[in-house]
Structure formats: structure tokens, C-alpha cells
Amino acid sequence: MSNLSQDMFQPVTVAERKALDSERIVGESLSFWQDAWRRLKNNKAAMVSLFTVIAIVLLAIFAPMLSSYTYNEMNTTVRNQAPSMEHWLGTDHFGRDLWVRVWEGARISLFIAATAALADLLIGVVYGVIAGYVGGRVDNIMMRIIEILVGIPNLILIILLIMVMGAGIWTMILAMIITGWVNMARLVRGQVLQLKNQEFVLASRTLGAQSRRVMFKHLIPNALGIIIVHLTITIPNNIFLEAILTFIGIGLEPPIASWGVLVHEGFRMIKLYFWQFFFPSLAIAITTLAFNILGDGLRDAFDPKLRQ
Amino acid sequence: MLKYTLKRFVYMVMTLFVIASITFFLMKLLPGGPYQNPERITPEVKAAFDAKYGLDDPIPVQYVNFIKNLLQGDLGMSFKYANRQVTDIIADTFPNSALIGFEAVIFGTVFGLLFGIIAALKRGSFIDYSVIIIATIGVAVPSFVLGAILQYVFGVQLKILPVATWGSFAHTVLPSLTLGALVVATIARLMRTSMLDVLSSDFLKTAKSKGLNTGTIIWRHAIRNALIPVVTILATLTMALITGSLVVERIFAVPGMGDYFVTTIYTNDYTLTMGITLFYSALYIFSIFLTDVAYGLIDPRIRVAGRKE
């Protein structure tokens, strides 16, 4: 240390400092969504799931159109056939093509699940934002209502509704909405409560922004990550619920060819023609698996704590 | 704490009352009556039946009677099973469902906790990934698929366990496994996350730097604290078990309450449907109540919030 002389050190001038450029931000600046997408792309399991979900949706739309069979076309000469080149997934006891029926089932099951989940989202977000943002007595009353609703077991309510309204696609959707929106509302309210006292919201209000602008510009976009994650988890749950209710015999009924109906019909033939049960079950399992893994991946991608 | 518990209790009672009322009025809205062939019975017989079951009163009177009886623990008589009390039917069938549920919970908790703890301790290893994969698949595979596969493999192919019906412990194995799989998956996932959280916390570093041995650290400090969040899924789990029991009892022909419940829906046995609905709801609400109280006991922040009000 002692052989370091004073003249080896020189003060840095302002000009030199500017030239050094040490304060420049090197990494390109990413928006929240760009960052989330970048992190999601690094998650292989989530990306595989994303493509699986897209593939399932595309197949549900196009497979029944592109096949030479229709889902309800009976042909008694080809009953209960094993999978072959003619019928990729075999045929059922009326000689209907299972490949087309599985994708027709995907249409119905996905339609029910997604419609119910989207309606949950709409109601839940509106309810949650109002309760969380307005606060005070309004919040108190709104949360007491939710607290009572949460206590009602959703399966029971759904079964009662089906008994009263009769089984059908819309009854199923309505039942799922009635029991589902509560969770979304709680989630959004919690998020809004966290956000509304943060500096950027305060800044926006100080600058004279109206409540509506604060809600739509600041609160909802910032809660969107969690809302999307919840949506991806709700859809497979709804698919499950439809399948389970139909399986035990109180959900949808033929000639509707939802996945639940296919599984229900297949289960009766399981010992003789296991593929009639196996393929629809596989479709349900793959779909729910893909949505679940995608949901987990999205949760990680949106989580600022995991940001690198 | 007492105030918080009391408040929860009041909510529990209120929710039950709302459910009882909803159930009652929905049942009154139902199309069709409880009689299988109403056109075949004479008006006198019908009047006698109506009087016996209290159906001749106006609906508000019926409602008041219903609530009164409910408070005394009387759920009325079944329409289909002549002269049988709904409470008797529940008492007969619920133990079977409860047995399977109990076995499933034991099996699920033991293996779920074990898997979760091992996965967290061996983070990033082959074991960890296996647990994650098993847990994810366990959540995604519907119970009827798992039930059918187990039935086929152990009952039909290997012939080591009975395929269905009821009687001995062997009969309960497959239904319990089917029901327990979801429990294993849920608990393993939660325990793994919770353990990882605790393992990276400061107090664990303190414990390590004090020179405690690994066994003590993991047992006394890590696992105990990691268990806290797991307690909170009790209510969700109860609901999952109820839903699962409907499916499992159907597949394995278990004479439990779930199977009865589904049958009552086919047969329009209103009083029995209502009775079982209320019973399920009470079970679920009680589990929510327990969760809230347990959480309040464990988490000091909630204790404080409860006191403030």
C-alpha cells in the first residue's frame, strides 16, 4: 500500500465522466407484458402447454369440418370398431366416428368452460374493482355478501339448479357462473386494495384523474396478470365439473356430445371396447393438464418477485 | 381471538340458514311432484299423503315448519323409502362415505407431506421433478379415469382386489386410493412450495449458524412452519372429497351417501335431496369455520385484525 503515491490519482472531470457513460441503461427497456412473454418463452413446459392448448382449440374448430364423417351420423355396419385407418379412434355402439365425436366434444366442453370463465371474469372484475376501490361501507357490505356465498358448496348449488332448470348447456354455464364469479371478485378486490394505495395511483389522482380513469388505466391493467392466471385455471376446472356431473348422470344428456357424455357412454362399454372410454378421457386429461401447466407458467411469468 | 371465533361462528350459522332457505325454495320451484304417477292415485289418497308429509299447508307455513324441524335436527321423512327418516338414511350411509374419505385423507396427507418435503429438500433433483410431474398429473387426471384404470388393473387384470361393492377392508382400498390421489397431489404441491419458502428464510439461517444439526433444523424449524399454509386447504379439500365421493361411489358401487344423493335426484325424493344437501353444506361450512379458526390461531396478523374490529 505504501508504494502508491499521491500523483497516481487524478480527479475525474465532468466531461470525462460523461464519456465513460457508466450511467447508461444497457439492457433494453421492457414493458411488463414483454418481460412476462420473455420469461414464459424460457419455460419449456409452459410453452409446450401453450401450443397444446392452441392445437386443441384449432382441432376443435376444424377437425369436425375436415372429416368425412359427422358426430351424429350413425352407421350400424361399423359398430364398436377398434381404431383403424378408416376411423382413427374407432367407432361407438351406433357406428359413429369417435375422432369427430371427441372434437365435437371439445367444442362443447370448451365452449361451456370458456363462456362460464369469461362471464366470471366480467362480473368478478366489476364487483371486485368497485368493492376494492370504493372501500368503506360499500366494501364491507359487498364482502359480507361474498362471505356468505363462499360458504355455499358450489357442487350442491349446481346440482340444485340443474334439478330446477333441467340439464342443458346453458344451465351448466349459468350454474358455473353463479358459483365461480365469487372467487374472481375476491381475487380482484385483494389486488385493487394492494394497488390503490401505491404511489402511481396516488400520483394519478393528484393530477386530477377521475375514478373511472384510475380504474381502467391503472387498477385493471395492473391486476390483469392475476386475472389471466385465474382464467387459465378456471377453464380446466369447468371442463372437469361438466365431465364429473355428466359422468354421475346429472349433467348433459345425449344427443349433446360433450366430453362428459362421451366418457359416460364409454364407461359402460369399458370392458369390451376400452377405447370408447379411453380417448375422450385422454382428451380431458391432456386439456386440463395443458391448461394447468400453462397457468403455473403464467403465474411465474407475471410474478415480479421472480423477475431477473 | 374469542371475538374472532364468535364472529366466524355467526357467519357459519348465517350461511347455513341461507343455504337451507335457498334449498327449500328451489325444491318448491321444482317442476313435477314427488308422486311417480299422480294421475293414478285418487284425490283422497293424494290428500292423505299430502297431509302426512305436510304438503297441504301453504308454502310459508311449510317453510316455517321446515326451519323449526331443522333446528330440532329433524329433516323429515323420505318420499321414496316409506317411513324412513332422512336422518336415519344419512346415519346409515354416511359412515361408509366417511370411511373412504378418512382413508383417503390419511393416505393423501402422509404421502403428500412426504413427497412435498423430500422434493423441497432435494430441489432440482430427479426426485423433485418426479414429484412435480406426479402432482401435476394427479390434479389433471379426472377421478373417474383414475378409478377406471385402478379397477381395470387391480381388479380385472391382476385380480388382487375386489372390483366393486362393499364389505371388507379390501373393498375400500381402490375407492380410497382413487379419492386420495387428488389429496396427495394437492398437498405435495403446497408442501413443496411452502417448504421452499421456509428453507430460504432468515430464521433458518440463524438456526444453521447456531450450529443445530440438520435433523433438528428440518424437523423443528422447517417442517413445522411449512405446515401452516397447508392447514388452509382443509375446506377446499373437504369439498373436493365430497365431489370425488359422488364419482367414486358410483364407479365402485359403494353404498355411501354420495351415491344415495345422486339417486335421489333421479327419483325426485325432495326431502332426502334437501337433507343430504344440508348435511353436505354443514360439513363444508364447518370445515371453513375450522380453517378460519386454525388460521387465526396460527397467524398473528389475523389475530390483530380480529381484535381491531
Q: CA A150 → CA A139, B31, B239, distances in Å?
A: 16, 28, 12
B window 264-283, beta carbon within 8 A of A: 265-266, 273, 277, 280-281
Q: How many CB atoms are closer than 10 A to CB B199?
A: 18
In a domain, B227, yes or no: yes
For B288, the grid coordinates are 371453513
In a domain, B306, yes or no: no
Please tell me the least confidently modeled range out of A207-216, B155-164, B212-221. B155-164
- Nearest CA of chain B to the CA of A299: how many Å? 14
A160 with B23: Cβ contact below 8 A: yes
Nearest CA in chain B to A285: B141
Winning range, highest mean pLDDT, from A287-291, B166-170, B263-267: A287-291
| Domain containing residue A146 | 32-67+92-307
Evaluate if residue B309 carries a pLDDT over 50. Answer: no
- Nearest CA of chain B to the CA of A17: how many Å? 40
Assign A60 a pLDDT band (cuts: 50, 70, 90): confident
Evaluate if residue A119 carries a pLDDT over 90. Answer: yes
| Domain containing residue B214 | 88-255
User: Contacts of residue B26 in chain A, CB cutoff 8 Å?
Assistant: 160-161, 163-164
User: Contacts of residue A236 in chain B, CB cutoff 8 Å?
Assistant: 140
In a domain, B266, yes or no: no
Of A85 and A177, the one with more pLDDT: A177
Winning range, highest mean pLDDT, from A121-125, A209-213, B227-231, B254-258: A121-125
**B257 reaches A (C-beta below 8 A):** no
In a domain, A221, yes or no: yes
A160 with B26: Cβ contact below 8 A: yes
Torsion of CA A59, A65, A66, A67, to 10 degrees: 100
B window 221-240, beta carbon within 8 A of A: 239
A247 with B26: Cβ contact below 8 A: no
Please tell me the least confidently modeled range out of A70-84, A122-136, A238-252. A70-84
- Nearest CA of chain B to the CA of A209: how many Å? 32
Q: How many CB atoms are closer than 10 A to CB B157?
A: 9
A164 with B152: Cβ contact below 8 A: no
- The domain total for chain A is 1
Assign A111 a pLDDT band (cuts: 50, 70, 90): very high
- Nearest CA of chain B to the CA of A95: how many Å? 23
**B32 reaches A (C-beta below 8 A):** no
| Chain A interface, best mutation among B243, B259, B273, by max A CB count within 10 A | B243
CA Rg value for chain A: 27
- The domain total for chain B is 1
**B186 reaches A (C-beta below 8 A):** no
What is the per-residue pLDDT for B306? 47
User: Contacts of residue A164 in chain B, CB cutoff 8 Å?
Assistant: 26, 29-31
**B254 reaches A (C-beta below 8 A):** no
Of A141 and A270, the one with more pLDDT: A141
- Nearest CA of chain A to the CA of B16: how many Å? 8
A285 with B285: Cβ contact below 8 A: no
Assign A112 a pLDDT band (cuts: 50, 70, 90): very high
A91 DSSP β-pair partners: A97
Mean pLDDT of A46-71: 84
Compute the distance between CA of residue B235 and CA of residue B243 in angstroms, rounded to an integer: 13
- Nearest CA of chain A to the CA of B142: how many Å? 7
Of A95 and B230, the one with more pLDDT: B230
**B291 reaches A (C-beta below 8 A):** no
Compute the distance between CA of residue A77 and CA of residue A82 in angstroms, rounded to an integer: 13
For A273, the grid coordinates are 371396447
pLDDT digits (tens, 9 = 90+) for A221-258: 888 888 888 888 889 889 988 888 888 888 787 777 88
Nearest partner of A35 among A279, A302, A234, A225, judged by Cα:
A302
Nearest by CB to B265, from A153, A159, A166: name it. Answer: A159
DSSP for B43-65, written as a single string: HHHHHHHHHHHTTTS-HHHHHHH
In a domain, A74, yes or no: no
pLDDT digits (tens, 9 = 90+) for B222-234: 887 788 778 778 7
How high is the mean pLDDT of chain A?
Answer: 82
In a domain, A27, yes or no: no
In a domain, B127, yes or no: yes
Mean pLDDT of B291-309: 60
User: Contacts of residue B148 in chain A, CB cutoff 8 Å?
Assistant: 267, 270, 277, 281
- Report the amino acid identity of residue A230: H
What is the per-residue pLDDT for B99? 87
**A171 reaches B (C-beta below 8 A):** no
A247 with B19: Cβ contact below 8 A: no
CATH number for the domain that contains residue B152: 1.10.3720.10
Compute the distance between CA of residue A308 and CA of residue B6 in angstroms, rounded to an integer: 45
- Nearest CA of chain A to the CA of B211: how many Å? 30
What is the per-residue pLDDT for B243? 79
Predicted model pTM? 0.81
Of A91 and A233, the one with more pLDDT: A233
pLDDT digits (tens, 9 = 90+) for B150-200: 888 887 777 777 777 777 777 788 888 888 888 898 889 888 888 888 888
CATH number for the domain that contains residue A229: 1.10.3720.10
In a domain, A219, yes or no: yes
B148-157, long-range: CB < 8 A, 24+ apart: B148/A267, B148/A270, B148/A277, B148/A281, B148/B251, B150/B174, B150/B177, B150/B178, B151/B251, B151/B252, B152/A270, B152/A274, B156/A271
Mean pLDDT of B237-255: 83
In a domain, A113, yes or no: yes
Between CA A177 and CA A187, with CA A182 as vertex, the angle to 5 degrees is: 125
In a domain, B280, yes or no: no
In a domain, A14, yes or no: no
pLDDT digits (tens, 9 = 90+) for B19-31: 888 888 877 777 6
Assign B299 a pLDDT band (cuts: 50, 70, 90): low
In a domain, A259, yes or no: yes
Nearest partner of A248 among B165, B95, B252, B152, judged by Cα:
B252
- Give the list of residues 6+ apart from residue A193 with CB closer than 8 angstroms, or none: A132, A135
In a domain, B185, yes or no: yes
- Nearest CA of chain B to the CA of A244: how many Å? 7
In a domain, A15, yes or no: no
Evaluate if residue B307 carries a pLDDT over 60. Answer: no
A285 with B140: Cβ contact below 8 A: yes
Compute the distance between CA of residue B198 and CA of residue B224 in angstroms, rounded to an integer: 10
